[in-house]
Structure 1
Amino acid sequence: MQKIIKVQAEDNVAVALTSLTEGELVTLNEEKITIVEAVKAKHKIALEQIPIGGKIIMYGVLVGKAISAIPKGGLLSTENVKHTSAQTTGKTADYSWTAPDVSGYQDRTFLGYHRPDGQVGTENIWLFFPLVFCENKNIERLKEVFEKELYIDEVSEQRQLLRGLISGNAEAAQPQAKRKSIFDNIKVKFITHQGGCGGIRQDSELLAKLLAGYVNNPNVAGATVLSLGCQNLQIQIFKDALNAINTDFKKPVLIYEQQQMGTVEQMLNTTIKDSFLSIKKANEIERKPAPLSKLKLGLECGGSDGFSGISANPTLGYVSDILAALGGSPILSEFPELCGVEQELVNRCVNEEDAKKFLTLMQAYEQSVVDAGSGFDMNPSPGNIKDGLITDAMKSAGAAKKGGTSPITAVLDYAEYVTKPGLNLLCTPGNDVESTTGMVGSGANMVVFTTGLGTPTGNPIAPVIKVSSNTELAEKMSDIIDVDTGAVIRGEKTIPEMASILLDYIIDVASGKLVSKADQLNQDDFIPWKRGVSL
């Protein structure tokens, strides 16, 4: 097995594919390099002597500068490298793209739920949510009622374990049973949040756009919405947001306002009666074939490690390119994790207006972080750093590989809805759940989530497929990982070969033939991005 890898020709660092010992001799392109000190797998070594102030180049871009001299074969760490990224002011070159061969996928279809506006869902969901946090308790009561009556759910392994401990027979635990619904074609999901009032009006308006995006998402058949009545996020604001996204919206949306209806019991009884009839009707919708161009695929990463940028992310990037070539809509978000690769992304923008919009959004976002007393350089988490991602630019350069190499057809601010085929850039935080929440609110009917350390994140309405960067993670956390790209690290699979495996898996999940691990765990995470302050 190869012990180190240089990602791009112009790089002056390499990634350790396995742990290396002090004094060990490794070979790269027939050049022998002596390892100066012990290096853990996933971390970086210098391929040349780098003086103080010298540039660190990885993925072909500037990812840091040396704050102390680093010898050839030396380990890069937070002790000798600081975050630095290149500055971008606008387009510097025209962009040309050679699309991958998609002949094997042009006639492929998935079985989806066709909506009146032409969108196609990978799920058929009736969604309950509040316009304001004051209604969270009522949403939770509805969830308890509907889940207990609509689903046949045998006692879980954990409840069996506790029962055994209480009775003194801990061995009585039984394997967890699969949840079964009394309906064949519809799922009922619930989301709560902490917004809708108490903050600046702009936050409520942004939340309205996000919630409208969830209702308009092709995975949703209809929705039940609870309002208190006096909150900032008024019913009309939500309706206006929905109309702005889709002027020809035809899905059923049931809205109830507590201050107009009287007691909680009166409102909940009416809500249950009306919603059940609508859910029963939505259950009549069945899956039918649809072209892969109807997929809007969220590209996410979290719990990243030093292998993410050379296995899982490039694999997803190749899938993104295939989908873009087929007329689908991959979505790349997490703007703090695009720091350092702005120039490449700007040059890939088809329209000059989008290039300018991207830079404006990036600069405004970064300034807001600075104003809060921090910076993008604080983005890598302790887990990222421990596993080799020591600067934000280094992390970003690897994270951006999820977006492949296709031209960028649209740049969207948070909660703007995806309408164009091709790669879309969406402004979201780097926070895993906030980012995933935002992409689904912008229309993603599936999300592929790469990880090197492991995370259980899911979404209430869109399947989230987990892709591991390394086999050790896939074996250790097999209950959350769907696809393992560790074969790329071992040299057993090429990126295109691994991408083919991943895309086939995506199609099966989109068709309902497979259930993602996050859905099996009922991992329904929903956190809106709150940009403003509380009042």
Structure 2
Amino acid sequence: MTGAVRKPYLKIHTNDNVLVALQDLPAGTVISINGHDLKLPQDVAAKHKFFINDMQKGDEVIMYGSLVGKIQSALSKGTLMTTANTHHAAGDYSYRNAKVTWQQPDVSKFANRTFNGYKRRDGRVGTANYWLFIPTVFCENRNLDVIKEALWNELGYAVTDKYRRFTKDMFQAYTSGENIDNISLNPLPANDQKRFFKNVDGIKFLNHSGGCGGTRQDAATLSALLAAYADHPNVGGVTLLSLGCQHLQVTDFLNDLKKRNQAFDKPLYIFEQQQTVSEEELVCEAIRKTFLGMVDINKIERTPAALSDLCIGVKCGGSDGFSGISANPAVGYTADLLVALGGKILLAEFPELCGAEQALVDRCVSEEVANKFIHLMQEYNGQAMKVGSGFHMNPSPGNIKDGLITDAIKSTGAARKGGTSPVVAVLDYTEPVEQAGLSLVCTPGNDVEATTGKAASGATLILFTTGLGTPTGNPVAPTIKIATNSVLARRMSDIIDIDTGSIITGEKNIEEVGEDILEYCIKVASGEAIPKAVQLAQDDFIPWKRGVSL
């Protein structure tokens, strides 16, 4: 299939009654489909859809072989799909005792392959070795910022010094009467960026806005989330800052940590500000103890580990009309490869599984797993409906502008990130992954809330597909950005790691690109390649309060 010449349009599934434009199609373009020709009555931009047949009001729109919408008024064949003529629709779903079968991909190319990771005493393997700072309450964010500036700058982890230098050069030019428009950004010399601790990949900070002032349920959810991050395989040690009087007490965090991992044995240093003499003492002692802790975890070195020790979260954000055609199915093939090798895959974003539910239910390995998925989906969507929203309102203006007209179109394309393997488990928010295979994780579709939740369940890498460009990462799970199209990959090359546009042009097929992605994952997991999100310190962290977030 490599090098195959593609038509400028695509029919994704044999049952579909819409085509996707792979390039801009001008009005008058003749399309040959199902043994007959149709002439486009208007321009159709790349990524958008048009109808194969004449359509009547109430007709079902089928894409990816699934119901994704209903027609609002009579249309002639060739008409462009819009939010005016097509509204969201999705089929009902239920457990129907479907027999789960799966044809595994050929993994001979990856048999006996390893990555160099950090082995923890509990048997898990990290793809990185981070020191983590956790505040139990937002009141400690400022102290974290002070500590961050000190440690990052002096230990070689700062990534923003180039902007400080730019500001300094601009100031000097201005005071000298020079034109500041002539000042350019200069990268730091390589010797200015060396880390003092070669086996500590970073110092991470979980600033957040919770811990007090909200409901006690919010504090409890946050406590479980912070405990999950402390216990993460990519974390070597933890410094925790508490004010003292907040809802989320240190004892709550410690109880959740013990509940999650009774054998937790990483260095953990706790400082409570209301029990210290001064803020200065708090900051200095936190820096002192952390430095000594980093000396200890720096003794841990990377060693070979099986690919089955990888746990990869799959996510899409800033999606476009190509997401479900190129990047998502390519990541899905990577997911299938890893599952076949005995690894773990986490697929989340429940609002973006709307319309793909029945296919996922039919892949659940048991009625118990299926019913847990159904319950979480219906409960979550029900909460959204109560406030006048719903999963169908998930697509953003950017999604719609680039061809994702209904949530079901977005969702059926988004679900392809999870590949085709059986669903072995369904995890609620912060619930840890334990079984090899594909697990569904209950999170919002919101980019950062979703990646935050995936890492909490144990993702040690995250594959993040985007068609519009999203500057998002995660503090503890290195995030790999994958472009759905080459135009984006070139325009935002500073944040994109992998370009899957070759699938759109026909230069490569999904399987080939999926294998390329897994090869890159192995390099990142071994510390041989650093994703752009890590280089740019895109350490985004937003706890979900279990409210309505799409």
Which residue pairs with 2:314 in the alignment?
299
Secondary structure at 2:108's aligned position in 1? coil
2:234 maps to what in 1?
A: 219
Give CA-to-partner distance per residue, 1:510-534, whole Å, 9 cap, x none: 111111011111111000101259x
Partner of residue 296, structure 2: 281
Q: 1:122 to 1:345 in 2, by over 3 A?
A: same
The correspondence of residues 475-490 of structure 1 with structure 2, limited to 5 A, is 475-490=490-505
1:473 corresponds to 2:488: yes
Q: Deviations over 1:151-205 (max 9, x none)?
A: 2759854444434433125445353235321110102111200111111111111
Q: Name the counterpart of 1:176.
A: 187
Rounded Cα–Cα distance in structure 2 between residues aligned with 1:152 and 1:402: 32
Whether 2:222 is the aligned partner of 1:207: answer: yes
Q: Does 1:401 align with 2:416?
A: yes
- Give the residue type in structure 2 aligned to 1:120: V
Q: 2:467 matched to 1:452?
A: yes
Alpha-carbon distance in structure 2 between the residues aligned to 1:517 and 1:226: 29
Rounded Cα–Cα distance in structure 2 between residues aligned with 1:110 and 1:347? 33
Task: State how 1:101-500 maps to structure 2 within 5 Å.
Answer: 101-151=106-156, 156-166=161-171, 167=173, 168=178, 170=180, 171-177=182-188, 179-186=193-200, 187-500=202-515
The one-letter code matched in structure 2 to 1:133 is F
Looking at structure 1, the residues matched to 284 and 186 of structure 2 have their Cα atoms a distance apart, in angstroms, of 36
CA-to-aligned-CA distance 1:239-268 (integer Å, 9 cap, x gap): 111112112111111111112223212222
From 23, 32, 38, the counterpart of 1:27? 32
Cα deviation, 1:440-497, whole Å, max 9, x if unaligned, reads 0111000000000001101111110000000000011000110000000001111101
TM-score (norm 2): 0.94
The question of whether the paired residues in 1 share the 8 Å contact of 2:94 and 2:361 is answered with no
In the TM superposition, residue 275 of structure 1 has moved relative to its aligned partner by 1.3
Query: Could you tell me how far apart the structure 2 residues matched to 1:266 and 1:91 are?
Result: 62
Aligned to 2:546: 531
Q: Contact 1:160–1:173 (CA<8 Å) still a contact in 2?
A: no
How far apart are residue 149 of structure 1 and its match?
1.5
Work out the CA distance in 2 between the residues paired with 1:40 and 1:144: 47
Question: Distance between the aligned counterparts of 2:169 and 2:73, measured in 1?
Answer: 59
Match for 1:38: what amino acid? D
| Residue in 2 that maps onto 1:48 | 53
Report the 3-state secondary structure (helix = DSSP H, G, I; strand = E; otherwise coil) of the residue aligned with 1:181: coil
Task: Say whether the 8 Å CA contact 1:470–1:486 is kept in structure 2.
Answer: yes
CA distance in 1, matches of 2:232, 2:340: 22
Structure 2: distance between partners of 1:153 and 1:427: 34
Alpha-carbon distance between aligned partners in 2 of 1:50 and 1:174, rounded to the nearest angstrom: 55
Tell me the number of residue pairs that the alignment of Structure 1 and Structure 2 aligns. 533
Go from structure 1 to structure 2 and tell me whether the alpha carbon gap of 1:204 and 1:449 turns closer, same or farther (over 3 Å shift): same
| Distance in 1 (alpha carbons) for counterparts of 2:203 and 2:162 | 23
Give the CA deviation at 1:36: 2.0
Partner amino acid, structure 1, of 2:186: P
1:3-50 Cα offsets, whole Å, 9 max, x none, are 110111111111000111112112346543211211110000111112
Q: Is the 8 A contact 2:159 2:536 kept in 1?
A: no
Q: CA deviation digits over 1:383-425, x for unaligned, max 9?
A: 0000000100110000000001000111011011111110010
SS of 2:41 mapped into structure 1: coil
8 Å CA contact 1:70, 1:76 repeated in 2:
no
CA distance in 2 between counterparts of 1:195 and 1:15 reads 43
TM-score, normalisation: structure 1? 0.97
Cα displacement (A) at 1:69 = 1.6
CA 1:154–1:88: 2 relative to 1, 3 Å = closer
- Taking every aligned residue pair, what percent have the same amino acid on both sides? 53
6-15 or 142-151, larger mean C-alpha shift = 142-151
Shift of 1:91: 2.7
Give the distance between the partners of 1:470 and 1:29, measured in 2 at CA: 28
Contact 1:228 1:257 in 2 (8 A): yes
1:468 and 1:483 in contact (8 A); partners too: yes
SS at match of 1:256: strand
* 1:142 aligned partner, one-letter code: I
Q: For residues 169 and 112 of structure 1, what CA distance do their matches in structure 2 show?
A: 49
For 2:158 and 2:447, the matched residues in 1 are separated by 29
Write the distance in 1 (CA, Å) between the matches of 2:218 and 2:142.
21
Give yes or no for the alignment of 1:37 onto 2:42.
yes
**Aligned match of 1:501 in 502, 510, 516?**
516
Aligned to 1:95: 100
Aligned equivalent of 2:3: none
Partner of 1:281, secondary structure, is helix
SS of equivalent to 1:180: coil
Q: Distance in 2 between matches of 1:137 and 1:158?
A: 21
Consecutive unaligned residues of structure 2, counting only runs of 5 or more, are 1-5
2:194 and 2:508 map into 1 onto residues whose CA distance is 37
State how far apart, in whole Å, the 2-side matches of 1:53 and 1:532 are: 33
In the alignment, the residues of structure 2 paired with residue 208 and residue 447 of structure 1 have an alpha-carbon distance, to the nearest angstrom, of 23
Conservation of the 8 A alpha-carbon contact between 2:15 and 2:65? yes
Residue number among 51, 57, 66 corresponding to 1:61 in the alignment: 66
For 1:7, the equivalent position in structure 2 comes to: 12
**Residue aligned with 1:74, SS:** coil
SS of aligned partner of 2:321: coil
- In the alignment, the residues of structure 2 paired with residue 485 and residue 152 of structure 1 have an alpha-carbon distance, to the nearest angstrom, of 31
User: Counterpart of 1:507 in 2: which secondary structure?
Assistant: helix
